[in-house]
Amino acid sequence: MGVARTHAVALLGLTGALVEVEADISAQLPGMILIGLPDAALAQATQRVRAAAANSGCPLTVHRLTINLSPAALPKHGAGFDLAIALACLAADSTVSSQSVGKVVHFGELALDGRLRPTPGILPGVMTAARLGHSTVMVPIGNEAEAKLVPDIRVVGVASLRDAAIWHGARLSPEPVEPILPAVLPSSPTAEPDLADVIGNDDAILALQIAAAGGHHVFLLGPPGAGKTMLAARLPGLLPDLDPASSLEVSSLRSLSGLGLGGALITRPPWEAPHHTATAAAMVGGGGAQIRPGAASQASHGVLFLDEAPEFASPVLDALRQPLESGWISIHRANAVAHFPARFQLVMAANPCPCGQYGANDLSCTCPPNARRRYLARISGPLLDRIDIQLNVKRITAAQLRLAAASPRVTSVSARQRVITARAAAGERLHGTPWALNSQVPGPWLRGAKVRLAPATTAGLDRALERGGITMRGYDRVLRIAWTLADFDGLTSPGPDQVGQALYLRKGMSS
């Protein structure tokens, strides 16, 4: 009897491993045995494959089929192995050419009528196949456009198992079927909200642009109705388009979470705003058999916005400390470790106290002092330490509203242009270092011989340090913001004005 093999991809996090699917036919009573650590969905592939093959006009053998997924110790999950299993079985029975099947990596879940369903995780899967030197992949027709985003690999889109078998040399006549297309149709890029909508709040608008230019994390503190959420929602619009590598990464994460990509890579930075009841698993990713990315990974290369930050459970907030430090999230399970990218820009918004009115000009706060202190203390010091810009946002007054009509406003397009210029300036200065943005530069380097500022420039800052107004860590953060301000203003290095402004952007709530 026969043996045949083909290939599929098992994904773990964003990285995949090539899986060899072997099928063996032995002279035994009919049966189909699947071995090699399948999860529940994959173990049921035997029933899907048998029905799909029969309904495609190429039934499986009546003898016993043993299917092995190798490496046998690697956990595999999902229905994406169906096509590979079906074709290995047919090749073992010589219905299709085993030589042809052996050279192709297959993806796709089978419907019982033999059609192929779109499968999540196609983009990272095809990327893995390409990286490991494979030249041809076969995917469901609904995923063809997504698979074709990967360069230098031949993509064969098929609508049904029958079409796949014909492609691999089965003697069947083609039978057109209605292809199954992804449920989420390629959505047109939704318009990002424009910065010009914001009235007043000039400090906050500047802070937002500085945050975009330097990649600084932001904390917005202010009473309800001050426009914190409105401001935060405009940050992704100020960020430049994703570069090719990050675009692939963001698109892969989206593909992995089962959301369709349509036919284009994502080029705009993502925006994630999880609700404050989110669990740690929802935030950083998790899951038992199949480890899925969380909101922090989905926000990679974009903005993670935490509205009402003190309302988040503190373990959830503290779970963000690792990705803030390393840009990666590693999730450990008994049988595997998954790594997800999480290089996001964090924006948190909070009211100053439970009633929200503390510090507002028009209403007075009704909270007892200790309630007020406890409220913001829910955000742990180590987390707050990693946030460069901390800003008070005030409600706008009637006078500001009237003035705003007359004064020119910054639009997102012009702001983004300045951000791109500022990032280019920083990139040039940091050329040859491991960093690309001012927010990534460590303090000792900023105070080092190469870029140290003159004592006259930092006089105000030094005084704040002497008086205990800021800590040494805060001092470094002010320097970082000052450099971004200089880049933003087109200066070669920050002057006393920039340092003063940076100190102001830092002093919103703490030192």
C-beta of 55 vs 484, nearer to another protein: 55
47 binds another protein (CB under 8 A): no
C-beta of 1 vs 43, nearer to another protein: 1
Q: How far is CA 231 from CA 9, 295, 296, 485, in A?
A: 42, 20, 20, 19
In the shown chain, the binding pattern of residues 52 to 81 toward another protein, with x for contact by CB under 8 A and - for none, equals ----------xx------------------
Which amino acid type is present at position 120? P
Selected binder of another protein within 30, 186, 225, 327 (CB under 8 A): 30
d(CA 80, CA 70): 15
Q: Which stretch binds another protein (CB under 8 A): 21-29, 299-307, 348-356, 383-391?
A: 21-29
Task: Annotate 370-402 with b (16+ C-beta within 10 A) or e (fewer).
Answer: eebeebbeebeeebbeebbbbbbbbbbeeeeee
d(CA 114, CA 276): 43
> Smallest distance, Å, CB 112 to another protein?
16
Rounded to the nearest 10 degrees, the angle between the axes of helix 496-506 and helix 459-467 is 40
456 binds another protein (CB under 8 A): no
Whole-angstrom Cα Rg for the chain: 28
Q: Where are the alpha helices (DSSP H) in 349-388?
A: 369-377, 381-385
Q: Which stretch binds another protein (CB under 8 A): 22-30, 140-148, 220-228, 242-250?
A: 22-30
Phi and psi torsions of 344, nearest 5°: -100, 165
Tokens of 168: 């691999």
Q: Which stretch binds another protein (CB under 8 A): 27-35, 130-138, 185-193, 272-280?
A: 27-35
> Smallest distance, Å, CB 174 to another protein?
25
Task: Annotate 44-71 with b (16+ C-beta within 10 A) or e (fewer).
Answer: ebbebbbbbbebbebebbebbbbbbbee
Phi and psi torsions of 65, nearest 5°: -105, 125
C-beta of 30 vs 469, nearer to another protein: 30
> Smallest distance, Å, CB 95 to another protein?
16
Q: Which stretch binds another protein (CB under 8 A): 28-36, 278-286, 338-346, 503-511?
A: 28-36
Selected binder of another protein within 3, 17, 23, 28 (CB under 8 A): 28
Q: Which stretch binds another protein (CB under 8 A): 26-34, 36-44, 158-166, 200-208?
A: 26-34
> Which positions touch another protein (CB under 8 A)?
27-30, 62-63
